[in-house]
Amino acid sequence: MSIFNSLGSNYNLEYVLKSLFIDNNDASNKLKNLLEKKYQGKATLTYKGRGALTLALKILNLPKESVVAINGFTCFAVYKAIEKASYSVECLDLQNKDLNFSSETLINALRDNSKIKVVVIQNTLGYPCDIEKIEKICKEKKLILIEDLAHCVGTKYSDDREAGSPRSRLAAKRVAGEAGSVGDFVTLSFSQDKMIDAVSGGALVIRNKKFQNSILASQGEALELLELKTLNFLQQLKDRFYPLLTYKIRFLYDLSLGKPLHFILKNLNLLSKLMNESLYTLYSLPNWYCSLALTEFAKLNPQLNHRRKIAQIYADNLDKKILSESLMKNIYLSSNLRFPVFLENRKSLINYLKKDNIHVADIWYDDVAPECPNAVNVSHTILNLPTHINVSEKDALRITEKINIWLKSQ
Ligand SMILES: Cc1ncc(COP(=O)(O)O)c(C=O)c1O
């Protein structure tokens, strides 16, 4: 079967059947319990990750002119979610050769803009940011820290293996182990192609006790105040069928029928979309999505191992000139949602790989803040290789071989 890095690439036949029939009345409570235990806070489930972020900011109830600092290389939905909560956004540029902003960049931004009250980190593609320093700055300056786990469920900030030495034992006291164990708030996305892929879904976990008793955090009556609306049946139907339809498209690509089918389904508006104005409304998460998220959480560890193995194959075998050395050093900590390579002429490589039924055109963020030159550069040069469960070690080697041949021809 053709290889994709999106278009339902996380799904196999078992997932397709589950998504069509799964339901469990208690799944919502079970998922909430799981998240509360894992991230040590109070959980609320939302239909989208962006909704969870809006919710966190609404709970904070900050002065109107407050600013939220985010990664300059991020999803438009993050930007919009902040606007939806009526705050302004400041984009922080990436550290050179990295996918996250540095603590120095944050310090400079705070010096120039005293209205920054919230910092969102996202551990882009799973690669950990410099959490130790960022957390320290947030504490000193009394800023709210939000960990957005859309890419990085399972990412580690420090390694268990390092905990043995006296120095690292000291560090371990200060540096938390896993992403989601540091911030005042944790937000998650269970959208298509994410680590926990429930077709759609999100969650807010309020870790800071100060905000846990806010009326917004409690359930029942508070949900009305929050106006978490009920998701309409049609959207749910589209989401139910998304795994089946994308599976069919991917399956038929080898027979040249996938592309026209994709075109038709898209134009008939039958495929669930990621970007749509209505998706910024705050909806609660129906039970069946929670069931899917629970089955994904159960498979998280094998999935992390698989992604790490595939990322390491790319790192070991690809020409070093298209790799970022600093990111490669952190593969063992990363969730490895995707494997990034950097090259000038990526369109030509995308077309070259397409001839071999390897589809990697989805580059995620191609329209980023112009005031962030490193982010702009990354957005023009990054190409993400797939690490998901439907890419075997043999596939990864084949992809590296193809890319190295293409590089030689340049
Ligand atoms: C870093 C990050 N945060 C949040 C989101 C929003 O997630 P959702 O699509 O569930 O709203 C995305 C979307 O891709 C993302 O990349």
DSSP string for residues in 163-220: GGSHHHHHHHHHS-SBTTSSSSEEEEE--TTSSS-SSS-EEEEE-SHHHHTSTTTS-T
- What does DSSP assign to residue 229? B
Whether residue 101 sits in one domain with residue 216:
yes
Q: For a ligand 1 pocket test, name from 5, 50, 123 the mutation site with the most ligand atoms within 8 angstroms of its C-beta.
A: 50
Domain with residue 61: its CATH number is: 3.40.640.10
Atom from ligand 1 closest to the CA of residue 77: 6
The CATH number that applies at residue 395 is: 3.90.1150.10
- In this structure, the answer to whether residues 308 and 213 fall within a common structural domain is no
Q: Mutation test of ligand 1: which of 191, 204, 231 has the most ligand atoms closer than 8 Å to its C-beta?
A: 191
Residue nearest atom 13 of ligand 1, based on CA coordinates: 75
Kind and range of the H or E element at 359?
A: strand 358-359
Q: How far is the CA of 202 from the centre of ligand 1 (A)?
A: 9
The reply to whether 12 falls in a domain is no
Is residue 218 predicted with pLDDT exceeding 70? no
Residue owning the nearest CA to atom 10 of ligand 1: 49
In a 3-state reduction of DSSP, which class is residue 123?
A: coil
**Centre of ligand 1 from the C-alpha of residue 190, in Å:** 9
Instruction: Return the structure tokens found at 7.
Output: 């278009």
Phi and psi at residue 5, in whole multiples of 5°?
-105, 5
Query: Percent of the chain at pLDDT above 70?
Result: 92
Which range is least confidently modeled, 164-173, 184-193, 324-333, 355-364?
Answer: 164-173
Please tell me whether residues 171 and 311 are part of one structural domain: no
Same domain membership, residue 191 and residue 48: yes
What is the Å distance from ligand 1's center to 49 Cα? Answer: 6
Q: Which of 183, 207, 226 is a domain's end point?
A: 226
Query: Which of 180, 206, 226 corresponds to the end of one domain?
Result: 226
Q: Which residues line ligand 1 (CB under 6 A)?
A: 48-50, 74-75, 77-78, 122, 148, 150-151, 189, 191, 202, 274
**For 117-143, what is the mean pLDDT?**
97
Query: What six digits make up the tokens of 264?
Result: 């038709």
Q: Are residues 76 and 172 in the same domain?
A: yes
Does 371 map to a domain? yes
Question: What's the gap in Å between 369 CA and the centre of ligand 1?
Answer: 16
Question: Do residues 38 and 160 both lie within one domain?
Answer: yes
Question: Could you tell me if 174 and 309 lie in one domain?
Answer: no
Tens digits of residue pLDDT in 245-282: 999 999 998 888 999 999 999 999 898 878 777 778 89
Query: From CA 78, how far away is CA 121, in angstroms rounded?
Result: 11
Overall residue count recorded for the chain in this entry? 410
Distance CA 8, CA 200 (A): 12
Of 196, 226, 256, the residue at which a domain comes to its end is 226
- From the CA of 192, give the closest atom in ligand 1: 9
Q: Which residue's alpha carbon is at the smallest distance from atom 15 of ligand 1?
A: 75
Is pTM, for the whole model, over 0.85? yes
Instruction: Identify whether residues 67 and 151 lie together within a single domain.
Output: yes
Mean pLDDT of 24-33: 94
- 187 token code pair: 């937000």
Is residue 278 in some structural domain? no
Q: What pLDDT is attached to residue 220?
A: 46
> 203: which 2 tokens?
């969650």
Residue nearest to atom 3 of ligand 1 (CA): 150
The predicted model gives 209-220 an average pLDDT of 68
Q: Is residue 163 a part of any domain in this protein?
A: yes
In this structure, is residue 34 part of a structural domain?
yes
Q: Residue 240: inside a domain, yes or no? A: no
Mean pLDDT (whole number) for 119-127: 98
**Domain span including residue 70:** 22-226
How many angstroms separate the alpha carbon of residue 111 from the centre of ligand 1? Answer: 28
What letters, b where the CB count within 10 A reaches 16 and e where it falls short, cover 332-362? ebbbbbbbbbbbeebeebbebbeeeebbbbb
Residue 273 pLDDT: 79
In a domain, 204, yes or no: yes
- Is residue 214 included in any domain, yes or no? yes
Domain total of the chain: 2
Q: Are residues 342 and 197 part of one domain? A: no
312, pLDDT greater than 50? yes
